[in-house]
Structure 1
Amino acid sequence: MSFLIFFIVTLFIAVIQTFIPYLVKRTIVFGVSIPEQYIEDHMIKKYRKHYSLSVAFLSIIILGSYIVWVLGNERVDNQIALTGVIIEFALMLISLSFYLYYHGKTKLLKQQNKWVENLKAMQVTDLSVRKQDEMLPWYVYLLPILSTVGLMIYTIMNYDILPDLIPTHWGPGGEADAFTDKTPISAIQLTLVLLIMQLMFLGIHTATKKSGIKLSATSLQASRNRQLSLRKYSSWLLFIVLLAITMLMSYFQLMMIHPEIGEGTVKMLIPFGFLLLVLVGTLIFSIKVGRSDKELETRVEARIMDLDEDQYWRGGMFYFNRNDPSIFVEKRFGVGWTINFANPLGYIIIFLPLILIFLISFL
């Protein structure tokens, strides 16, 4: 089971990393903004193709080696899991290295060809686009939050029948593999962590809903489609992932109170089902958003371009813009959102809950 889980996750990472150049915003190439007039430049196409082929080739070699290593000898789950984690990080590091290489080449290509000279930067605003926004309302998050509060109360009511050792970690097969002594806090520790995660997800949803909708002056309809698709599908993915996490962690909590529900293959199938749901949902989201601005024909006036915001992006990955009130903005490499690191509210929404979870889990 450990091998299957890590193989699926690694394969997913490899596929996403391979096709990322074709899923990002149409006018962003390796984190560099390119005027609409030049996105079909033969060098741009060449860079994208070489990146994808390089990442795919190395991914096949790494995955093949992993399979041979696992099947060649008897391996224990700990060895398989540790090697799987190392391979996943190695793939991400390899793709990041190729990204940084082509980011530099694309930036240099843009400068050498003077693509932004003699082009007038324009910014457009469409006040009606907010009315078309189909993001989920914030109150849908009350359902998982209330269920977690109810589970916390139920755990306290059944404190006397809880085992003397409270599970704190579960392996890939759903088996508890770490424990702590029973106390009132340790008994509800898992539900506390879950509740903090739910509040963090609600904060992320609220912040992205209030984020600015940036439209392109040179491809208004395509950019509108992408922004609306990004907001709609990311809100659904965020909520579905939260529901999946809530069900998984609630199952582990209930299994502590009623061990009989963890008998048989159920405790192995539930984590596996959670993994598939998250991966498939993420893949569908990436494809939906990634293709949303590439299916329309765009006619561009020869002398206009969108505002060039390259100066606000460090390496095309980290966004620092004190003049932008948005807490989250669309990624330049990848599909989804990233923090505006110049807005302190983003740190509170993301890092404060993570610190609290760390304190509850390890102290």
Structure 2
Amino acid sequence: MPSYAPAALKAVLGPTNTGKTHLAIERMCGHSSGLMGFPLRLLAREVYERVVRIKGADQVALLTGEERIAPPGARYVLATAEAMPVRGGFGAFSDFAFVAVDEIQLAADPERGHIFTDRMLNARGREETMLLGSASMAPLVRSLLPKAEIVSRPRFSMLRYGGPQKLSRLPRRCAVVAFSVEEVYRVAELLRRHRGGAAIVMGALSPATRNAQVAMFEAGEVDYLVATDAIGMGLNLNVDHVAFASLRKFDGRRTRRLTVAEMAQIAGRAGRHQRDGTFGDVGAADGEPAFSAEEIERIEEHRFDPVEQIFWREADLPMDDVDTLIEALMERPARPGLRAAPESIDLAVLQYLADL
């Protein structure tokens, strides 16, 4: 395998709400061109709107699975990780002075991890590259990218456990996090009955509807927001308290309890730069115990187990014939710290069609 680390490479690591994404936006806007990859369409759209205000709509593109805004002269591209034009696709979007990849700890996700691993190892800017994510990625960054400079971002506000509370007694400027569409709507309806209203934010909504819901909360028209765990991925919301409706989620394969790192990613959205935040729960309907004392302590102190392995799949795929393509998709990684991605639907379908 090739050597992955160029000289102008920084890994900016730290807890949520430490300004990592804001720093990358500032750095990108100081370059002649730039590309940033995000884990969520909603986050890519939010940053797109921020950069448009700085550079103008004719200079900025948005590439996601549901939206494509690509002015001919665009020099700054905001995209989901999957849509990042890192190998010459999308016309001129193949060469950038600055490149950033957000939430690189998602490289440890079985379903999407290989995408983030590829971007982390291969997406590079001509002049500067930034990898943004959790401090739990530091050991792997040092191992896989030994020439990368690691920059630690401390959190300047406190995050404290506020205990369990009934929905009817939640404080204002609160986000309630649920892990299914049904639960989001159920909680939102209860908040409307007891507290007068709630905004809803989740990926299933159209971009226009999501933006309108966020604007309603940010303007103070409602004091409560009900969201999926998408809120943990850097959405810029003015939230003082985060309440968990459940501590279990379906991860695409099974329903499981959140890891401490996942809890902290979500809880950490409470508070702002120097304003403290709190987190708690509203009593899970599934009977799952609330936070343990150890979980609370680790979340408050930002102590998480280091990520030891991330998922990898060959990304530079040969298209000469089907057999060669399948062989490349089944290749095993040779470097420590990289783990073969689980067999995906695209590979299974390709193998099935090849056998017909």
Q: TM-score if structure 2 supplies the norm length?
A: 0.25
Q: Larger % of helix: which?
A: 1
Q: Larger % of strand: which?
A: 2
Q: Which has the higher contact order (CA 8 A, sep 6+)?
A: 1
Larger radius of gyration: 1
Q: TM-score if structure 1 supplies the norm length?
A: 0.25
